[in-house]
Amino acid sequence: SGMRENLSYEQFGVAVRELAQTIADDGYRPDVVLSIARGGVFVAGGLAYALDCKNIHLVNVEFYTGVGTTLEMPVMLAPVPNAIDFTDKKVLIADDVADTGKTLKLVRDFCLDAVAEVRSAVIYEKAQSLVKCEYVWKRTDEWINFPWSVQPPVTPSGEAPAVNREAL
């Protein structure tokens, strides 16, 4: 399974503040942070606090089924946010990683028609990503272990532990 980039919760705390600082220094003041669930929710929460933006939206996208194994194309799951909510808004899309970039492209294309401006912020961007995010904390081409998904889901104490596909 090759080398891994490991991010701890402590390093994530530093990363999200530094990412927010880059956005603030660039003069971008989003009206809405749009998170891509589930990994993007952590990033969006940290960025929204650090940028003093009180408006967070969420979109669910399904793509990865395991390490490097994907559906053919990412799909937005219901309920899809109402793009009318974003009319004339400056939107910041937040996600954990742009890998192929297909997930971010799907969400960005969804926003493009309606909004005043859309930019994207990620903790990690891989070289192959077809979307070049405006704000990136770190570049890597390794598989990333994120603190929220590196461990399997909990099971009730005494029951058999769950298997984490990402840890295989």
The footprint of ligand 5GP (CB under 6 A) covers 36, 39, 63-64, 74, 95-104, 143-144, 146, 149, 166
Closest CB to ligand 5GP among residues 13, 66: 66
Closest CB to ligand 5GP among residues 46, 74: 74
In 3D, which of 86, 79, 93, 95 has the Cα closest to residue 34?
A: 93
Closest CB to ligand 5GP among residues 53, 98: 98
Closest CB to ligand 5GP among residues 72, 159: 72
Which positions ≥6 away from 92 have C-beta within 8 Å? 23, 28, 30, 32, 33, 34, 47, 51, 53, 118, 119, 120, 121
d(CA 96, CA 5): 13
Rounded to the nearest whole angstrom, what is the least distance from the CB of residue 87 to ligand 5GP in the complex?
Answer: 26
Rounded to the nearest whole angstrom, what is the least distance from the CB of residue 123 to ligand 5GP in the complex?
Answer: 10
Taking each helix axis from N to C end, the angle separating 9-25 and 39-50, rounded to the nearest 10 degrees, works out to 50
Rounded to the nearest whole angstrom, what is the least distance from the CB of residue 152 to ligand 5GP in the complex?
Answer: 13
